Structure 1
Amino acid sequence: MHMMKPYLIEFPKIGDSTIGFISVTEELRPIPFEVKRTFWTYYTPESIVRGRHAHHLTEQVLVAAAGRITVTTEMSDGTIDVYRLEDPYIGLYVPPNAWHTMQYSHSAVQLIFASQPYDEKDYIREYEQFRRIWKK
């Protein structure tokens, strides 16, 4: 199994502070996979931790379209990284082999680009199962 690592992606940021900004993705570049599903989360209470899973196949890019999202990723070797997403032109690539959790500011809107359509069988929701499946 190829072990990928999470990393930040910068989308184009066009404009300036006097008129505002626009970020564009044409043909969904620089997303490193074909996008087959797009969804967004919002109005998540700050006390809630979402995610708590990994995937067998699905790759994702997470973007804080508004507000702040703290994403914690853990690899099967125990490496933990914390990403603070708060710029709408920055995305976080999350490979299938990364256990991940998200916490949100109340006003946060998270935009997610996914490489696969929704399939419950693709989710690894038990932490020990994640460690077994993705161990080196």
Structure 2
Amino acid sequence: MTPHKIKIPKIEDRRGNLAVIEKDVIPFVSKRVYYLFDVPSGASRGGHAHKNLYQFLIPLSGSFDVVLDDGKMKNTFTLNRPDEGLLIPPGYWRELENFSSAGICLVLASEEFDEDDYIREYNDYVDYKSS
């Protein structure tokens, strides 16, 4: 599986829209939810990879870029719609950058926090991908 954007079903209403994530919208049951906010201008988040964890990133407010590296090439995804998220399978190095003012990134994760699932050094990531 490769990283890709997924449209989140929405119910449009003149009083405001409602986006719904249920059933088969994402290919995992979320076991952890967290969000990034108040990211200072010029700062980046991420800077790691996961061995087993899937993530689904949603821009609740504003925008940001997700730079994904598979060990051979990099792809940048700009997230700026609250009804569209980015699915990141295990094995991708990720950097989140270029947060707009008031940018908020909601993350749905397939597993609870497990430090052993993280690869925090890029050189270790390259070694992991080549093994």
TM-score (norm 2): 0.92
Query: Residue 20 in 1 paired to residue 16 in 2?
Result: yes
Matched position secondary structure for 1:5: coil
Residue ranges of structure 2 left out of the alignment (5+ in a row) = none
SS class of match (2:17): strand
- Aligned partner (choices 95, 98, 102) of residue 101 of structure 1: 95
How far does the alpha carbon of each residue in 1:75-117 deviate from its partner, in whole angstroms, 9 at most, with x for none? Answer: 02x2211111000011101111110000111201111000110
Letter in 1 for 2:119: I
Q: In 1, distance between residues paired with 2:76 and 2:21?
A: 25
CA–CA separation in structure 2 for the residues paired with 1:90 and 1:36: 20
CA contact (8 A) 1:69 1:105 kept: yes
Give every structure 1 segment of 4 or more consecutive aligned residues whose post-TM-superposition deviation is greater than 4 Å: none
Q: CA RMSD in A?
A: 1.4
Cα deviation, 1:60-79, whole Å, max 9, x if unaligned, reads: 00000111011000102x22
Q: Aligned partners of 1:116 and 1:31: how far apart in 2?
A: 14
Task: Say if 1:45 and 1:105, in contact at 8 Å, map to a contact too.
Answer: no
After superposition, the C-alpha distances for 1:13-64 in whole angstroms (9 at most, x for unaligned) are 2215x4331111224x311112110111111112111101001111100000
Instruction: Give the deviation of 1:135 after TM superposition.
Output: 2.6
The answer to whether the 8 A contact 1:6-1:93 is kept is yes
Separation in structure 1 between the aligned mates of residue 59 and residue 86 of structure 2, nearest angstrom: 9
Select which of 100, 121, 135 maps to 2:130. 135
Q: Flag structure 1 segments of 5+ consecutive residues without an equivalent.
A: none
Q: Which residue of 2 aligns with 1:81?
A: 75
Is the partner of 1:134 in helix, strand or coil?
A: helix
What is the aligned residue count? Answer: 130
Out of 18-27 and 51-60, give the one that drifted further: 18-27
Distance 2:48 2:16 in 1: 36
TM-score for the superposition, normalised by structure 1 = 0.89
